[in-house]
Amino acid sequence: MPLVKHGAIVADDYVAVADDADLPAGGAVLVSAARLFAEAETLAMRNTPVGVAWPNNRDVAGLVPWLDQLSLIALVFPTFKDGRAHSQGRRLREIYGYRGELRATGQVLRDQFTFLLRNGFDAFAVTKESDAQAFGEATHRYTEFYQPTGDGHLSALQLRKQRHKAVAT
């Protein structure tokens, strides 16, 4: 499955580790929410990046104690019609201040790419190579937005105010 990060297809450095499998001695790991809670101390003592696959039916507030220790949160889209992970991503970025990698996994469709970016996602595990190419293009397609979000882009109104202020001075 191709991984798109910051508009480019990249290698996935994380190894998904099943709940009943041994943790590898080194390297970045991606564990389930259940394993994160069951082995929190062991995972915290690792000297390698740790990520969690977080289901969309759990409140992301449960991750708050671990946000500083997690380098990746992979939010799951079980079907393209289920957008709860959009809200989870936005809450992680805007309310809880998470700055690590936020990855969309599962049924992510091309027409959702721009919305995912706006909601704070910066990586996407897509199912098809052609989707990966389309995502790379989508990341550069729009430069101004009307709705303010926590993705770092100023809204169109904020940009207009800045331009007006610059001309007035």
> Does residue 30 belong to any structural domain of this protein?
yes
Q: Please give the structure tokens belonging to residue 159.
A: 């940009």
> Does residue 131 belong to any structural domain of this protein?
yes
> Does residue 127 belong to any structural domain of this protein?
yes
For position 68, what pLDDT does the model report? 93
Query: Any idea what the CATH number is for the domain that residue 56 is in?
Result: 3.20.20.70
> Does residue 153 belong to any structural domain of this protein?
no
Do 152 and 119 form a contact (C-beta atoms < 8 A)? no
Do 52 and 31 form a contact (C-beta atoms < 8 A)? yes
For position 108, what pLDDT does the model report? 80
Model-wide pTM > 0.85: no
> Does residue 123 belong to any structural domain of this protein?
yes
> Does residue 26 belong to any structural domain of this protein?
yes
> Does residue 151 belong to any structural domain of this protein?
no
Task: Give the tens place of pLDDT for each residue, 59-91.
Answer: 999 999 999 999 999 999 988 788 899 899 999
| Total domains, the chain | 1
Strand 72-77 and strand 50-54: pairing?
parallel
For position 24, what pLDDT does the model report? 93
Q: Which domain holds residue 45?
A: 3-141
For position 114, what pLDDT does the model report? 77
Q: Band the pLDDT of 136: cuts 50, 70, 90.
A: low
Task: Give the tens place of pLDDT for each residue, 33-68.
Answer: 999 999 998 998 899 999 999 999 999 999 999 999
For position 154, what pLDDT does the model report? 72
- Which helix (H) or strand (E) segment holds residue 58: the answer is none
For position 152, what pLDDT does the model report? 67
> Does residue 159 belong to any structural domain of this protein?
no
Residue 87 to residues 46, 93, 121, 132, 143, Cα–Cα distance (Å)? 30, 10, 11, 23, 22
For position 162, what pLDDT does the model report? 85
- More confident site: 19 or 135: 19
Task: Give the tens place of pLDDT for each residue, 139-169.
Answer: 667 666 667 666 666 777 788 888 888 887 7
Do 72 and 51 form a contact (C-beta atoms < 8 A)? yes
Q: Burial code of 46-71, b = ≥16 C-beta within 10 A, e = fewer? A: bebbbbbbbebeeebeebeebeeebb
Residue 110 has pLDDT above 90, yes or no: no
